């Protein structure tokens, strides 16, 4: 059973397009996160949601919009994709904001 899953695993698209990445967790956690890992493997948090409410919103361009339809899902929509958006995006979840975070397998986004 996959605890935190993401779709798609790979995403190749043209600059200017709009795309979404989906994340689902079946751990019963109430907090979900999006992280970005750049080409140098540096990981940085983008967003955190607790029970569908935005808790953390780092300095991310407003082209990125997270959407949480329920506490088991946190999707990431990206408008007007740019070359610099190419990265691996990881979803994670935890029970509460202070508990251990479990990560999904990542979505590798390449913008051409």
Closest contact distance (angstroms) between CB of 100 and other proteins is 6
User: Of all residues in the chain, what percent are helix, strand and coil, respectively (each to 5)?
Assistant: 5, 55, 40
φ/ψ (deg, to 5) at 42: -75, 130
Q: Would you state the structure tokens that stand for residue 58, as one six-digit string?
A: 């780092």
25 is a site residue for other proteins (CB under 8 A): no
How many positions of this chain bind other proteins (CB under 8 A)? 23
Per CB under 8 A, the list member of 15, 100, 110, 112 interacting with other proteins is 100
Question: Is position 43 an interface residue for other proteins (rule: CB under 8 A)?
Answer: yes
- Residues forming contacts to other proteins in the complex (CB under 8 A) are 31, 33, 40-45, 48, 50, 55-56, 90, 92, 97-98, 100-106
């Amino acid at each position: 059973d996959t605890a935190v899953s993401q779709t798609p695993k790979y995403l190749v698209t043209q600059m200017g397009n709009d795309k979404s990445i989906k994340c689902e967790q079946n751990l019963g956690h109430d907090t979900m996160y999006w992280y970005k890992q750049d080409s140098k493997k540096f990981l940085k948090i983008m967003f955190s949601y607790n029970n569908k409410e935005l808790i953390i919103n780092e300095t991310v361009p407003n082209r990125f919009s997270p959407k949480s339809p329920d506490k088991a899902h946190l999707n990431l929509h990206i408008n007007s994709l740019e070359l610099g958006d190419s990265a691996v995006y990881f979803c994670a979840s935890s029970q509460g904001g202070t508990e251990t975070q479990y990560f999904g397998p990542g979505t590798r986004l390449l913008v051409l």
